Structure 1
Amino acid sequence: MDQAAQAPSQVMPGSFADLAQKVSPAVVNITTTSVVSQPTGGPAFPEGSPFSDLFREFGFPGMPGGPGGPGAPEGMPGPAPQQRSNALGSGFVISADGFIVTNNHVIEGADQIEVEFYSGDTLPAEVVGTDPNTDVALLKVESDEAIPFVQFGNSDTARVGDWVLALGNPLGQGFSASSGIVSARNRELSGTYDDYLQTDAAINRGNSGGPLFNLQGEVIGVNTAILSPNGGSIGIGFSMASNVVSQVVDQLQEFGETRRGWLGVMIQDVTPEMSEAMGLSVEGGAMVTDVPEGPARDAGLQTGDVITSFAGTPVEDTRGLVRRVAEAPAGETAQVVVMRDGDELTLDVTLGRRETAQGGGTEATPDEPTESDVLGMSVTVLTPEMAAELGAPRDATGLVITGVDAEGPAAEKGLAAGDIITDVNQQTVTSLADLTARIDEAREAGRQSVLMLIRRGGEPLFVALPLGEAELAE
């Protein structure tokens, strides 16, 4: 932060033309192709799913029983030929030998990936590695000639008000530039390792994976998501900070996967009241609430310890500690300073690897309701079969919108059947109970809306959904 505070003030450029001309050759359009099963004349929803019932009820053209639909025998679905589905995104080259960075959601599930360069040339690309946690993917193309590339800048020096330039392929329109400023820093949206720059540079569908440049032509962010009530840009876009992306890319280049450090503790922020009650002489820190079997227990950490420093870096809060531990290589020995009973202790912890320590996703409770009406929409728990129907990975988790009240808040904000809700108020939701809990928490806190992260056609979209008056439980 000190370095950012001391950065020189920027002068408004008379034009972005020189900058755009300099960096455009390294920016690419990405087209992905996947093979899906599609019933003849209708959407890809097999018989028996809530979506096939929904479309039949409203007479979707081409569906059995709908206008123009084939008269399939009772209980017999129509044929399901293979159909190729295309998706568009953006990316940028980071080395002369053809390494390309984009978003994971741009290429997830793709059978073929084609990269189009500013020159108009196209090359096939292969996936080197992906990290869904930061939505980063690394691709590689082969070329006989050196490819123009750009370099990562230091996102920590970006200040609110700095000019930025976004390049990409918005709405499939080809190479396009938009300018704006950094409107906020250190945004945490839905992930453990989030560190987003917020910008008012126009970012739309298709910009995902594209670069956000500073005036020096350095990449300080990867355009990832927007906050929008209607799916279009309203001047609130989010770019994953380059200091996060570059570390992930280094690991993907070296290992083809991420290898984050793992301390093995449950932690919570230390409030001023807790600090006073414990007689701590330091502010901030992370209190250890549980020490399961793992590196921290082996090193002697205990419940009630307050971690004040990790690997020589002061710990301000739990978020900072989690990110700092993740950045440390697995297997590295790090010094952890803790306050225990008024004394300062220094412990040496040999870090484990988070990817091997983490368990599987949380499953919905078997006996909970299967569907619920809330905030003007009907939702149900996402199953592997539904995920496949909607073009999402079969192991995806969340809630699926199965219906929307035309006069309710969900419809007003542009939500639709088939949208997948993955997070509410920056917390993962995998069950109806999770959704209800997030809504209740927001109401108790006096909030007027909840922030939902949805996936629509593989693209992430944030929607602020009004709560309105509390609904009566049936």
Structure 2
Amino acid sequence: MSVGSGRSLILRLLKVQAVLAAMFLSLLQPMQVMAASAALPGSHSFVADAVRDVAPAVVRIDTERVVERQPFDPNLIDPLLRDLLGEPGFGYGPERQRGQGSGVVIDRQGLVLTNAHVVEQVEDVNVTLANGDQRDGEVIGRDPVTDLALVRLRGTSLPPSAQLGDSEALEVGDWAIALGTLTAWNGQSRLGS
């Protein structure tokens, strides 16, 4: 291949890249306009509206369960690690483990929808409402395949519930908003499609 034909090929590739970049940027422009208009003072975005409507129904779920610790064989530890870290503890028997997750109140009778792994094999369920009030909860159903579970709140004054949408109306590319508590009590939201 000659030097001239190599340069010609490079120029053609650069032209193709320029056209692709222009096409990509033209696709991004509507999204940038939408994002900019949502950030204008005095304007409201659909995300802010959705968070305002649903946030009072979002709850934090704290759980406890007892697990049986297995006896430990000290011969399984590398001697070098044993010299560095010391002898491992030989404690075994029951141990209380704590867990945490989020959920959303889905009806006025106090049913909370959460993930099944959040309430798997738990003994105690404590639910903190958006206003800070705490309620005991009871796991009434779990489906590990879909990772969904229902918890019933105990108590008389129940929080507002979120309105469930129509999953049949969803299309690929529709916006999704996730609300919840990642750590401690701080409501958070995420947006994606």
- Shorter chain as denominator, the TM-score bin is 0.5 to 0.7
Asked whether the 8 Å contact 1:131–1:137 carries over to 2, the reply is yes
Q: Which residue of 1 aligns with 2:173?
A: 161
Cα distance in 2 for partners of 1:171, 1:144 equals 27
Q: Distance in 1 between matches of 2:79 and 2:139?
A: 41
Residue by residue over 1:119-178, the C-alpha shift from the partner in whole angstroms, topping out at 9 and shown as x without a partner, is: 111111111111222222111012212321012211121122222211012245631111
1:67 to 85, 106, 126: 85
| TM-aligned CA deviation for residue 36 of structure 1 | 2.8
Q: Letter of the aligned partner of 2:99 in structure 1? A: A
Aligned with 1:57 (options 78, 83, 87): 78
Structure 1 position 139 matched with structure 2 position 159: no
TM-score of the superposition, structure 1-length normalised? 0.29
> Secondary structure, in 3 states, of the residue corresponding to 1:105?
helix
Inter-partner Cα distance in structure 2 for 1:118 and 1:159: 30
Letter in 2 for 1:128: I
Matches of residues 178-257 of structure 1 in structure 2 within 5 Å? 178-181=190-193
Kept after mapping to 2: 8 A contact 1:12/1:163 = no
Structure 2 unaligned segments of length 5 or more: list them: 1-32, 39-44
Unaligned residue ranges in structure 1 (runs of 5+): 1-10, 38-43, 71-76, 182-474
The answer as to whether partners of 2:176 and 2:192 remain within 8 angstroms in 1 is: yes
Which residue pairs with 2:163 in the alignment?
151
Residues 115 and 163 (structure 1), Cα distance of their counterparts in 2 relative to 1, 3 Å cut: same
Q: Is the 8 A contact 2:60 2:185 kept in 1?
A: no
CA distance in 2, matches of 1:60, 1:32: 34
The answer to whether 1:83 aligns with 2:104 is: no
Answering whether residue 53 of structure 2 is matched by residue 22 of structure 1, we say: yes
1:31 Cα deviation from its structure 2 partner: 1.1
Mapped to 2, the partners of 1:100 and 1:166 lie a distance apart of: 15
**Partner SS state of residue 52, structure 2:** helix
**Do the aligned partners of 1:97 and 1:143 also contact (CA within 8 Å) in 2?**
no
Residue 170 to residue 79, structure 1, CA distance change in 2 (3 Å): closer
Residue-pair matches, total = 152
Q: Distance in 2 between matches of 1:26 and 1:102?
A: 12
Would you tell me which structure has more helix in proportion to its own residues? 2
User: What per-residue deviation string (whole Å, max 9, x for no partner) do you get for residues 6-41 of structure 1?
Assistant: xxxxx958232232121101111111111234xxxx
CA RMSD of aligned residues (A): 2.8
Structure 1: distance between partners of 2:92 and 2:71: 9
Could you say which residue in structure 2 is the equivalent of 1:129? 141
User: Partner of 1:35 in structure 2?
Assistant: 66
Query: AA paired with 1:57?
Result: D
> What SS does the corresponding residue of 2:172 show, helix, strand or coil?
coil
Q: Counterpart of 2:92 in 1: which secondary structure?
A: coil
Q: Distance in 1 between matches of 2:153 and 2:49?
A: 27
Task: Tell me how far apart the structure 2 counterparts of residues 53 and 31 of structure 1 sit (CA, whole Å).
Answer: 37
Distance 1:94 1:53, change over 3 A: farther
Distance (Å, rounded) in 1 between the aligned partners of 2:125 and 2:80:
36
Per-residue deviation, 1:60 = 5.9
Partner of 1:104: 116
**Structure 2 residue aligned with 1:95, among 101, 104, 107?**
107
Q: Rg larger in 1 or in 2? A: 2
- Report which structure shows greater RCO (CA 8 Å, sep ≥6): 2
Change (3 A) 1:27 1:53: farther
Q: Percent identity?
A: 36
